[in-house]
Chains A and B, each alone.
Chain A
Amino acid sequence: MKWRVIKAYIVKELTELIRTRLIVMVYLMPSMILLLFGYGIRMEVTHARTIILDYDQSHFSHMLTEKFEHSKYFDAQIGLMSEAQALHQIKKAKADMILIIPASFQKRLLHGQKSEIGLFIDGAFPTRATTMESYVQGVVLQASQEAENIALKKGMIVINNRNLFNQAMRDENAMVPGLIGLVLLVAPAILAALLIVKEKEKGTIFNFYASPVGKGEFLIAKLAPAFLLHSLNIFILFLWATYLFEVPFRGSFWLYWLSSELYIFISLGIGMLISVVTRSQIAAVVMTVIVTLLPGFLYSGIILPISAMDKASYIEAHFFPIMYYNHILYDTFLISQGIASEKIVLYLGVLFLYAVILLGLGTLFLKKELR
């Protein structure tokens, strides 16, 4: 292991990155993904156009309808129409949902009997529909708590479960930390994949093949610039998250920083493995994007919390490092259990294993010969 060889390669890489303007991509892409997705994906639904058909016109039913009228999430309209007419409104895309309060609503409740509320939701966009449904459940729960006669229905706990550490119900809090996990998986992997495959495509890889430069020296020299440059992104992304998106940061910064560095190693390992097997830059980039972006997005917890996944995808999620890292991320931002939690220590260990295995495989498969 000769420091001089490594240094020469690192200086060369950095010079090339700057002169080919690739450095712009290193810093532009992560921030761009964060901004695009951070502003672009909205799980939150506001101003859902709601038609309320109140057949009871009682104290309890008014209490409930008032809640809808005063919420920013609903644009409630007390309907004077038949159910069929109301349904027609949804068909015409003039309304998002219909809430029907049956005639004997208050009477049944006062008698301690179960009462049902009818709810029709436009399911054209299932996620949006689910979100609206959970809002309605929330409102109903709140209203029923206020009414002294508490008639809890089963299954309402679900809402609480999701919102517990995001009391403000802010999308940013749920999205942005997850996005950091995605960005730090994709961007360093692409850079690492390019750095080696570019030499194969150009032919300069011969300088490595035909010289006494060792495999270890070559890999350290290739990965170090990518690692150092992307380490800065850990801080940049943190600043975007906390200042621009105003996501609270409750946990330990040290944990955030160290686990992120570890995670970058994993990303670099993926990129390195890909650049060992591919021959052209375009193939390397496409493959890296497929291998990192898709599972990264699916299992980041942005779309759906891992705990809410069904069996197959729940198991699948455990194969991808992003699940472990994002758990730590959400903890540091929103929960702040830190290393007091056994799960977090375990997950740190898993991340470490991933890094060791990926980098080890890359070193093993890299050969100083043409193929």
Chain B
Amino acid sequence: MKEQLYVKNVTVQYKGHIGIKNATFSLKGGEIIGLIGADGSGKSSLLHAIAGVERFTGEIIYDDVSYHNPKEAQPLKSKMGLMPQGIGLVLYDTLTVKEHLDFFADIRNIPIDDTFKSYRTKLLHMAGLEDFIDREAGKLSGGMMQKLSLVCTLLHRPKLLILDEPTTGVDPLSRIELWEILDEIRKMEGSIILVSTAYMQEAQKMDHILLFDEGEIIASGSVSALLDSAKAYTYKQTPCEDGCITFDGRTYTRKNINADHVSPTLEGLFLINALQKGKTLTSMQISARQNRVNIPEIVMEAKQMSKYFESFIANEHIDMKLHRGEIVGLLGANGAGKTTFIKMLLGLYPIDEGELYLLGKRIQSGADRRELKSKIGYVSQHFSLYKDMTVGENLIYFATLHALSKQKAAQRIKSYAKALGFSEYLDAFPRDLPLGINQRFSITAALLHEPVILFLDEPTSGVDTIARAQFWEILRQLKQQWGIAILITTHYMSEAEYCDRVVLLKEGKKVADASVAQLHATHPKAKNFEEIFLEYYR
């Protein structure tokens, strides 16, 4: 492979903060390189610099052409393909799939000959989009949008393919299909493929990975080499005071402790890096509810609930019970009806068919629904915080919405801030804080009125490993201390294992409702939960 990419001392700087600092590495053709790290760790900045869409300092050489700014990169753009982060970001909502293909072929000036036509058909076939050729992009599911974006990026057969989190927010099945396309392209075209991802499991599919943390590349190498390097710090789960992080059944520490070594996971690499910087998990302690409520055994029950959008069935006769002190994972592919279902439970959508009971009382009238809303805490996918108000002001605003008195609100905010470890950020603006911190006070905002149920819509997407570990610790304590029922959606299959029960939705119907252990029993061949999930969808 002759074409090579050299990245030398690349730094991307924004007003006031650094995107990526002194990134240096080089790559051969035909390799898939993974960029792994949390949101804001510098992956996008680096990818944008390489794609020539962002100003940077340092030098990048591709195909023997050196460039130092976007302008110098212009002649290389015909050989590059960039798929930026965000579901369906580069698609035009009102154009159909076919119109997208024509548009991208035209702006890339690809000759429309038989070779192109057969290549295009092949891509469409790989992406499973043949039957949706006349559908408008805005009406595709998230997974399909990402596959269409990828197809559009691949049309001109780029030799340098830059994909920024193509799989974030995409269900496992679509993720696997996206990876199959990439693998095929690598074999067919011999391209360099740079992929960033927040899913550690995907690292296994890469030839070489770069780990990112706080704007720096903290490690690079093949997956096995990196895992080997972490082995010395990984032990079986052991109680350990300070200088240790326990996560996923393993204890990571740089000290010598008296326990057996086990094989680390990739998440462990970040934890070890955190330990190296002297960081540990802040201990969090949720105190008991202030208002004692008597929570019945069954907190919420949905009976045969359905939702229709014109002729489209979003939810069909779904039964579900939420028990006291239970964490239920609501899983399914993009477009399976998870969000619609949660919105009905929240009282945001009217229920077309079926019955909903809260604390034993049926929800029917508008007053019932108001009552319903006062009992529910909700954290949306994008953490609905006001960007121009500080964290403290945001929280006071949410407290006021729930008619809490000023003193009570101030006192609760203070105690949560202490318990969840964000006291020092109360005067900061949400946009200046890492996603993990935002996530913690989003959940605070949802807890201020002490609800009996908590709905969480993909709260962990894009959040770094440590923050996710802490987030699940908060949920565990809430369940124990408050007896609250929690319904959570996620695309991290490993998180399903922390749920007491999982409900799987497929095309608007419930296909499974059982504990992870029970599912393992009924699917003995599956090695992990992801495989069980896929068995339902294949």
| A residues adjacent to B (C-beta < 8 A) | 2, 4-5, 7-9, 11-12, 15-16, 19-20, 202-204, 206-207, 209-213, 367-371
Contacts and interface: CB of A to CB of B under 8 A. Distances in A.
A180 B92 CA distance: 34
A210 B108 contact: no
Interface class of chain B by DSSP? mixed
B102 interface: yes
Nearest to B153: A210
Contacts of A4: 106, 109
A369 B53 contact: yes
Rank and list the top 7 A-B pairs by shortest CB-CB distance, nearest first.
Answer: A8-B106, A203-B89, A19-B94, A210-B82, A369-B70, A209-B53, A212-B78
Nearest to A8: B106
Contacts of B393: none
B94 A206 contact: no
B150 to A, nearest CB: 14
Interface in B426-461: none
A7 B55 CA distance: 30
Size class of the B contact interface (CB-based, 8 Å): 20 to 34
Nearest to A16: B94
A206 B90 contact: yes
B54 interface: yes
Contacts of B53: 206, 209-210, 368-370
Contact of A15 (B51, B75, B91, B99): B99
A12 B104 CA distance: 11
Contacts of B55: 369, 371
Nearest to B80: A210
B261 to A, nearest CB: 45
B107 interface: yes
A220 to B, nearest CB: 13
B103 A12 contact: yes
Nearest to A5: B107
Interface in B372-421: none
Given A15-B99, A212-B77, A368-B71, A5 B106 contact: yes
Interface in B39-60: 48, 51-55
B92 A203 contact: no
A15 B71 CA distance: 31
Interface string B93-114: 1110001001110111100000
B99 A368 contact: no
A203 B90 contact: yes
B92 A369 contact: no
A19 B92 CA distance: 11
Contacts of B69: 369
B105 to A, nearest CB: 8
B350 interface: no
B107 A8 contact: yes
Contacts of A5: 106-107, 109
A2 B107 CA distance: 9
B132 to A, nearest CB: 17
A16 B94 CA distance: 6
19 contacts: A2-B109, A4-B106, A4-B109, A5-B106, A8-B102, A9-B103, A12-B92, A12-B103, A15-B95, A15-B99, A20-B94, A204-B89, A209-B82, A210-B77, A210-B84, A212-B75, A212-B77, A369-B54, A370-B48
Given A12-B95, A16-B95, A210-B51, 20 more contacts: A8-B107, A9-B103, A12-B92, A16-B92, A19-B94, A202-B92, A203-B86, A204-B89, A204-B91, A207-B104, A207-B107, A209-B51, A209-B53, A210-B52, A211-B77, A212-B74, A212-B75, A368-B53, A369-B53, A371-B55
A23 to B, nearest CB: 12
Contacts of A15: 94-95, 99
B70 A206 contact: no
Nearest to A210: B82
A210 B77 CA distance: 6
Contacts of B332: none
Interface string B188-208: 000000000000000000000
A213 B89 contact: no
A15 B91 CA distance: 14
B81 interface: yes
B70 A204 contact: no
A4 B105 CA distance: 10
Contact of A8 (B71, B80, B84, B103): B103
A81 B81 CA distance: 89
A4 B84 CA distance: 25
Contact of A206 (B74, B89, B136): B89
Contact of B107 (A16, A211, A369, A370): A211
B107 A213 contact: yes
Contact of A9 (B84, B107, B109): B107
A207 B90 contact: yes
A351 B218 CA distance: 58
A19 B52 CA distance: 32
Contacts of A371: 55
Contacts of B80: 210
Contacts of A368: 52-53, 70-71, 74
Interface in B124-154: 136
Given A12-B92, A212-B74, A206 B84 contact: yes
Contacts of A207: 90, 104, 107
Contacts of A211: 77-78, 107-108
Contacts of A9: 103, 107
A201 B109 CA distance: 26
A9 B54 CA distance: 23
Nearest to B99: A15
Contacts of A2: 109
B70 A367 contact: yes
Contacts of B92: 12, 16, 202, 204
The listed residue with most A CB atoms (<10 A of its CB), out of B53, B71, B104, is B53
Contacts of A212: 74-75, 77-78, 108-109
Nearest to B104: A207
A102 to B, nearest CB: 67
A2 B74 CA distance: 16
Contacts of B94: 15-16, 19-20
A4 B89 CA distance: 24
Contacts of B89: 202-204, 206
The listed residue with most B CB atoms (<10 A of its CB), out of A7, A12, A369, is A369
A365 B107 CA distance: 22
Nearest to A19: B94
A20 B95 CA distance: 10
A212 B82 CA distance: 12
B459 to A, nearest CB: 23
Contacts of B48: 370
Contacts of A8: 102-103, 106-107
A8 to B, nearest CB: 3
Contacts of A370: 48, 53-54
Contacts of B93: 202
A214 to B, nearest CB: 8
The listed residue with most B CB atoms (<10 A of its CB), out of A4, A5, A210, A367, is A210
Contacts of B84: 203, 206, 210
Contacts of B109: 2, 4-5, 212
